Amino acid sequence: MIEVKNIFPECNADTLLVELIVQRGRPGHRNGITEVQNALKIDTNHFIIGVIDTDKFKKEERYKYIQEFEIVENRLEAENLLILRKPDTNKYIIRIHPGLEKWIWDLAIKCSVIPSDYGFDSIESLMDATKQQKVSENKELKKFINKVVSLNPLPIQTLRNWLMRALQ
């Protein structure tokens, strides 16, 4: 079992997404993949989950620790999600492909949610909103993401199942 504070999203928008899905408090937000990696390095027997975007993940030397994780479940083709585990540990990474903004935008379109109804006339305007420091205070962004989450398309179901399974 994991506590919500042991889910480490890499950016403010990922943190908002996890909050809206699990509805059990605030995850242990980290600022960037390097900080998520540092949180995953903590020596513990407790479950820990990092949530990162694939668009920012590069096979660079500084991410060497994350490269030790192995694919547990590959949902890239159908849902643009991947879950990885560090062997012989309770440490996991959920990768959203390619990045949260494109992922949630595409889900919105598939669910007939019109981004411009929430003030996002392009994916760039959505990206601008997600890069702000106070993402959780952006009411339109929160309503937009929450609308997609509430419609529960398959990728949201998968992400919810992975997170809730860990929280039980």
Is residue 93 one of the residues assigned to a domain? Answer: yes
Confidence (pTM): 0.92
Is residue 136 one of the residues assigned to a domain? Answer: yes
Domain of 47, in residue numbers: 4-161
Is residue 168 one of the residues assigned to a domain? Answer: no
Q: Pick the closest to residue 37 from 109, 105, 99, 93 (CA basis).
A: 93
Is residue 167 one of the residues assigned to a domain? Answer: no
Is residue 94 one of the residues assigned to a domain? Answer: yes
pLDDT tens series, the chain, 168 aa: 678 888 999 999 999 999 999 988 889 999 988 899 999 998 777 889 999 988 666 666 777 888 899 999 999 999 999 999 999 999 999 999 989 999 999 999 999 999 999 999 999 999 999 998 888 899 999 999 999 999 999 999 999 999 988 887
Bond preceding residue 87 cis, omega within 30 of 0: no
What 3-state class would DSSP assign to 49? strand
**How many beta carbons lie within 10 A of that of residue 75, not counting itself?**
16
Domains identified in the chain, total number: 1
Is residue 46 one of the residues assigned to a domain? Answer: yes
**How many beta carbons lie within 10 A of that of residue 133, not counting itself?**
8
